[in-house]
Structure 1
Amino acid sequence: MSKKIAVYVRVSTEKDEQISSVENQIDICRNWLERQGFEWDENCIYKDHGISGTFFLERPAIQQILQQAKKKEIDMVIFKSISRLARDLKDSLEIREVFIAHHVRIISVEEGYDSHKAGKNDMAFELWSLFSAQYSRTLSAGVSAALAAKVRRGEHIGRIPYGFVRIDGKLQILEEEAKVAQMIFRWYNQGWGFKRITKELNFLGIPSKQGNQWQMTSIQRLIGNPIYCGDFILNQYTSIKVSGRKKQIRNTPEQWIWFREQHPAIITREEWEQANPNLTNKDKRKFTPWNDLRSILKCGMCGSSMVILQSHKVLSTGEKNYYRYLKCSRYRRIGSTGCVNHKPITYEEMKSFIRNRLIEKGRLLELHFVHYPSSDYEKKRREFEKSFQSVQTKSQQLLDLYLDQFITKDEFEAKRIELDRNAHYLQKQINLFQQENHRIREVRRVQEAFDTMEEQGQSLLHVFKTLVEVVILHPNLEVDIVYRFECP
C-alpha cells in the first residue's frame, strides 16, 4: 500500500536567496524519499511563502497538513529541518503532538529525526526545537540592531506617514499634505475633537494617504506621532503571540528608542507637545475599561464591533456620576458616513441582558451531563490502542519476511489483508473513543460555563465566548444571539 506523503517547505521572506532555497528544500526531501524507496509525487509539496516560522496559525500550508493528518489523509510528513517546521518551541511540540496522535510519521532530514525510530518521548526533537527558537530570538535582536543603525544614519523605515515622501531612503516634506497636517494640529490645539476634525476633512473632500475617507483613529495616530516635529521612535511596538497568532502591542515609553530631529519637521516641537501633554503627564493617561463583550457584540447595521465609551452626569450635589455606554466602532471612527448611531444603552445593561438570557437558557437546556470516563472505559481504550500498535508492528514484520523471501507473495497478501482488516476495525474503535472523549469535554465545558454564569462578581468574557458565537445589537436595540450550543 503506497504511503500518502506531504513534503513541507517554508521561506520567511521573498528575497531571491530565500526563493531559491525552496528548490533546495524540495531537492533534499526528494533525495531522502527516493533513497528510502518512496515514489516521488510533485503534488505532495506544501509551501508557505514569506511567512514567519514563529506564528504557525498564520501559515496556510502547515494548517492544511494538520487538517489532513486529523482526517487520516496523510501517513508521513517530511521537511528539511525543524527550523522550517517552526521557530517556536511550543509550536514545534504542538505540531508534533498532532502528527503523533494521528499516527503520522515525521521526518526531519537535516537533524536525522524519524518519529518511528525515536518514539513519542524522544528528547532529540525537543532539543532541536529549542535551538531553533533560540536562533530566531538571536536573529530578531540582530535585525533590530541593524534597523537602529539605519535610523541613526537618518534613513526612514516603515510606512511613509501622511505629509511626507521618501527620497533615497530619507523623509522629505510633501507640501500639499503637510499643509493639511498643520491644519489638523491647529484645529486640535484650538479645542477641536477627533470626531469633528474627521468630519471636517471628509466634508472638504480631502483624501487620506491611501485616497480614502479619513477615520477618527487615523487622526488620533497622526496627532500622537512625533514624526511631525522631526522625531522618530523605534521599538514603539512589539509583536507577541497570543493563541498561536501574531498580535502587536505598544511598548511602554521607557522601552522606546527616541531619535530627535531625525528629519525635516512639519510643525514645531511646541505645537506637538501642546497636542500631546499625556507623554509628560502620566496622571492623564486613560485606560480602556474592561469589556466582557469584547469581539462578541457586533453592530447589526455594519457588522463592526460595539465599543465602550465613558461619560458622566453632574449631580445636584456637584459630584460626577460616571457611566459606560456602547457605540458602533465604525460610527465612532467615521461618523454618519460610516454607520448609524444606536439608541443609547449602557454597557452594564447590555451585559446584564445577555447574562440573564443565558441563565434562562441554561435552566431550560436539557444537557445530558456526564462524568469523566470510568476506569473500565479507559482500560478498553488503552487495550484498543495497544492492539493497534501491535497490528502495525506485525504488518512491518510481515513486509520484512516477504522482502527477505521467507514467505510467498500469496502468503504475504493473505496475511496483509487480515492485518489491514484488523487495523481498520481497531482504528475505527479508537476514533469512536476519541469522538466520545471530545463530546464529553465539550458538554462539561458548557456545563462549567453555565455554573460560572450563576456566580456574582466574576469576569464573564471567557464564559460568554464559550456559550455565544455572536451578539448582534441593532440600532433600535433589538438583539439577536447566536449560541454555541443547541437551544431548547
Structure 2
Amino acid sequence: MKTAAAYIRVSTDGQLEYSPDSQLKVIRDYAQRNGFSLPEQYIFREEEGISGKKAEKRPAFMQMIGIAKQKPKPFDCIILWKFSRFARNRRDSIVYKSMLRKQLGIDVVSVTEQLGDDKLSMLMEAIIEAMDEYYSINLAEEVKRGMQEKVSRGEPVTPPAFGYMIREKAYLPNPETAPVVQSIFRRFNGGASFREIAQELNALGIRTAKGNLWESRAIRYILYNPVYAGKIQWHTADTVGRRSDLSALLTDGRHEALISPDLWTQVQNRLNQSQAKQSKHAKTAQPTILSGLVRCSNCGARLVKSSRSSFQCQAYAHGTCNVSHCISVQKLESMVLAVCCADLNSCSISLELSDCSRNRKFLQVQLEREQQRLDRLRCAYESGVETLEEYQEEKQRLKSQIALLQEKCCLFLSIHSEEAYTLPTLLLNPDILPLGKNRLLGTFIKYIVFDSQNQHLEIHYQV
C-alpha cells in the first residue's frame, strides 16, 4: 500500500464549512478510496489564519517539504482539499510542485480538482494556479480598499494604542494609562531621554500594554505615534521595517487627543533633532575588536558601542539596567589587550606559509564566487526575474558575506613568513583589521565581564 501525506490550511476563521477537520475528513476518504495509508505523522496542519502567499512563512508546509526530501522518500503523494491550499502564488506553486514531482517522485493531488497527466490537465492546473493567485491579489486589494475607506472616515483600523481602549468602534482614553502617556510627552519635552523615562516607569511598577518592562524603543514609539495628537495613521507596507511616510495614510480621527497640538509639535521637533545627530554618527561608526565579547557586571547584558564612541550596557541604554557601564572604546580595548598580552605572552601560534597561502587562496576563491553571485543577482533583477524586495534582501546578504570574506583575507595577508607568532604579536599587529582581531579573540575568550564601579576586568578564557 502506498503512503500519502495531507496538507491542511485555512486562510480565515470564516471558512467554517472547510475547517481543518472538514478538510482532513475528505482527504481521509479520498486516501481510503484510492488505496493510500495516511499516517498521523504525515498530516501537516497550519494554524488558522496563515496566508498561502509565501511558503517560508508557513511552518507546517516547510516541515512537510523538509521531510519529503528524505531518502528513501517517506510518502508517495501529498493530498490537498484544493490546490489553493498548497500555494496562493504561482511561483511557489511551480517551484515546489516541480521539485516534488520531478526530483522526489511525489505527486500533489487535489481531492476536489482531480486532474490527469495529459497536456490538457497540465493546462487546467496552470489556469487554477493563476485563478488562485488572482483571488489572493484581488482579496488583498479589497481589504486594503476597505481599510483606506475606514481611515478616511477617521475610524480605527488597528488595536488601541497604549493609553486608549476601544468602545463601539472608537478609541476612548483609558483612565489608567492615558495619564502615563501624557507624562511621557511632558518628561521628554522637559529634557529627559528615552532611557531615563523608561527607568522611571519601571521603577514605579508601570508596565507596557503587554505587561513587559519599558525600553527606550517603546518610549520612542509612543512619542512618534500621531494617534495621541488625535490622528489615525495606517501603514500600507507589509512590514514595519519597510514603512515610510509615502506608504502611510494620516487623517483626523474621531477620538479625543491626549496631547495638545503645541506639545506634539515641540516633541516632534526634538525627535527630529535627535534623529539628525544619530544619522550623522551612524555614517562615521567604525567596528571594534571587542564586539560581542564584553558583558555588564550588573545584569550580564552585552556592552555595545554607543553614539559617543564608547561602550555602554545594552540593557542600560534600553532602560532595563540601573547601572551605567559607559567607557571609551579606546580605553576598554587597551585594558583588554593589556590583560591578554600579560596572560598569554608565552603562548604561540605556529603558522606555516603553505597553510596561510592555501587558506588565503581558498578565501579568494570564495570571495570571487560571491561577487559573481552578486553580478548574476543584478542581471536577474534587471531582467525582471527577481522583485525589488527580493533583490534588495539578497543583495544585502551577499554584501555582508563579501565583507566578511574580505576581513578574513586581510588576516592571512598580514602573515608573510614561516615563523611562530605569539598572540600579543597578532593582537597588536596594525595590519590586521578590527574584525579580524575580534574573531581571533573569540577563539580563546568566552566572554569578558567589565565592572565599571571598580574599573575591573574579568576575562573568561576558553578551556
Where on the TM-score scale, by shorter chain, does this alignment land: which range? 0.5 to 0.7
Give how far 1:280 is off.
8.3
Q: Map residues 103-182 of structure 1 onto 2, 5 A cutoff.
A: 103-113=105-115, 117=117, 128-182=128-182
Is the alpha carbon distance of 1:83 and 1:472 closer, same or farther for their aligned partners in structure 2, counting shifts above 3 Å? farther
Conserved 8 A contact 1:326-1:344: yes
Conserved 8 A contact 2:230-2:253: yes
Supply the AA of the counterpart residue of 1:81.
Answer: K
Q: Could you say which residue in structure 2 is the equivalent of 1:418?
A: none
Which deviations, in whole Å up to 9, do the C-alpha atoms of 1:382-411 show, x marking residues without a partner? xxxxxxxxxxxxxxxxxxxxxxxxxxxxxx
Alpha-carbon distance in structure 1 between the residues aligned to 2:64 and 2:305: 40
Is the alpha carbon distance of 1:19 and 1:333 closer, same or farther for their aligned partners in structure 2, counting shifts above 3 Å? farther
Is 1:276 the counterpart of 2:268 in the alignment? yes
Is the alpha carbon distance of 1:223 and 1:369 closer, same or farther for their aligned partners in structure 2, counting shifts above 3 Å? closer
Is the alpha carbon distance of 1:298 and 1:448 closer, same or farther for their aligned partners in structure 2, counting shifts above 3 Å? closer
Which deviations, in whole Å up to 9, do the C-alpha atoms of 1:210-237 show, x marking residues without a partner? 3332211111111111111111111265
Moved more, 47-56 or 361-370: 361-370
Aligned-partner SS, 1:211: coil
Alpha-carbon distance in structure 2 between the residues aligned to 1:299 and 1:335: 18
Alpha-carbon distance in structure 2 between the residues aligned to 1:343 and 1:87: 53
Is the alpha carbon distance of 1:265 and 1:16 closer, same or farther for their aligned partners in structure 2, counting shifts above 3 Å? same
Conserved 8 A contact 1:300-1:472: no
Is 1:256 the counterpart of 2:248 in the alignment? yes
Q: Map residues 303-342 of structure 1 onto 2, 5 A cutoff.
A: 308-311=305-308, 323=309, 325=310, 327-337=312-322, 341=325
Alpha-carbon distance in structure 2 between the residues aligned to 1:103 and 1:38: 16
Alpha-carbon distance in structure 1 between the residues aligned to 2:275 and 2:320: 30
Is the alpha carbon distance of 1:195 and 1:283 closer, same or farther for their aligned partners in structure 2, counting shifts above 3 Å? closer
Supply the AA of the counterpart residue of 1:273.
Answer: T
Identity %: 24
Aligned-partner SS, 1:453: helix
Aligned-partner SS, 2:210: coil
Q: Which runs of 5+ in 1 are unaligned?
A: 240-247, 312-322, 354-359, 372-445, 483-488
Give how far 1:93 is off.
3.5
Aligned-partner SS, 2:228: helix
Alpha-carbon distance in structure 1 between the residues aligned to 2:53 and 2:132: 10
Alpha-carbon distance in structure 2 between the residues aligned to 1:19 and 1:193: 54
Alpha-carbon distance in structure 2 between the residues aligned to 1:264 and 1:481: 58
Alpha-carbon distance in structure 2 between the residues aligned to 1:141 and 1:269: 34
Alpha-carbon distance in structure 2 between the residues aligned to 1:448 and 1:226: 39
Alpha-carbon distance in structure 1 between the residues aligned to 2:294 and 2:128: 47
Is the alpha carbon distance of 1:472 and 1:304 closer, same or farther for their aligned partners in structure 2, counting shifts above 3 Å? farther
Alpha-carbon distance in structure 2 between the residues aligned to 1:45 and 1:236: 35
Is 1:17 the counterpart of 2:9 in the alignment? no
Which deviations, in whole Å up to 9, do the C-alpha atoms of 1:254-291 show, x marking residues without a partner? 22110114310111122111111289899948545589
Q: Could you say which residue in structure 2 is the equivalent of 1:453?
A: 408
Conserved 8 A contact 1:6-1:46: yes
Alpha-carbon distance in structure 1 between the residues aligned to 2:53 and 2:294: 34
Give how far 1:151 is off.
3.6
Conserved 8 A contact 1:233-1:259: yes
Conserved 8 A contact 2:55-2:61: yes
Is the alpha carbon distance of 1:29 and 1:238 closer, same or farther for their aligned partners in structure 2, counting shifts above 3 Å? same
Supply the AA of the counterpart residue of 2:257.
Answer: A
Q: Map residues 416-435 of structure 1 onto 2, 5 A cutoff.
A: none
Give how far 1:197 is off.
1.3
Alpha-carbon distance in structure 1 between the residues aligned to 2:251 and 2:307: 35
Give how far 1:4 is off.
2.1
Q: Map residues 362-381 of structure 1 onto 2, 5 A cutoff.
A: 363=356
Aligned-partner SS, 1:106: strand
Give how far 1:118 is off.
6.7
Is 1:102 the counterpart of 2:104 in the alignment? yes
Conserved 8 A contact 1:307-1:327: yes
Is the alpha carbon distance of 1:342 and 1:480 closer, same or farther for their aligned partners in structure 2, counting shifts above 3 Å? farther
Which deviations, in whole Å up to 9, do the C-alpha atoms of 1:316-349 show, x marking residues without a partner? xxxxxxx4x5545433212425x87375437xx8
Conserved 8 A contact 1:343-1:475: no
Conserved 8 A contact 1:306-1:328: yes
Alpha-carbon distance in structure 2 between the residues aligned to 1:275 and 1:452: 42
Q: Could you say which residue in structure 1 is the equivalent of 2:2?
A: 3
Give the structure-2-normalised TM-score.
0.64
Conserved 8 A contact 1:12-1:18: no
Which deviations, in whole Å up to 9, do the C-alpha atoms of 1:43-77 show, x marking residues without a partner? 64221022222232332321221222122322221
Conserved 8 A contact 2:3-2:36: no
Aligned-partner SS, 1:454: helix
Give how far 1:22 is off.
2.2
Give how far 1:304 is off.
6.5
Q: Which runs of 5+ in 2 are unaligned?
A: 338-350, 366-400, 412-433, 451-456
Alpha-carbon distance in structure 1 between the residues aligned to 2:203 and 2:179: 17
Conserved 8 A contact 2:237-2:243: yes
Supply the AA of the counterpart residue of 1:269.
Answer: P
Conserved 8 A contact 1:369-1:447: no
Conserved 8 A contact 2:214-2:319: yes
Supply the AA of the counterpart residue of 2:193.
Answer: G
Conserved 8 A contact 2:312-2:324: no
Conserved 8 A contact 1:79-1:107: yes
Alpha-carbon distance in structure 2 between the residues aligned to 1:131 and 1:307: 51
Between Structure 1 and Structure 2, how many residues are aligned?
Answer: 366
Alpha-carbon distance in structure 1 between the residues aligned to 2:84 and 2:286: 38
Q: Could you say which residue in structure 2 is the equivalent of 1:345?
A: 329
CA RMSD of aligned residues (A): 4.8
Give the structure-1-normalised TM-score.
0.61
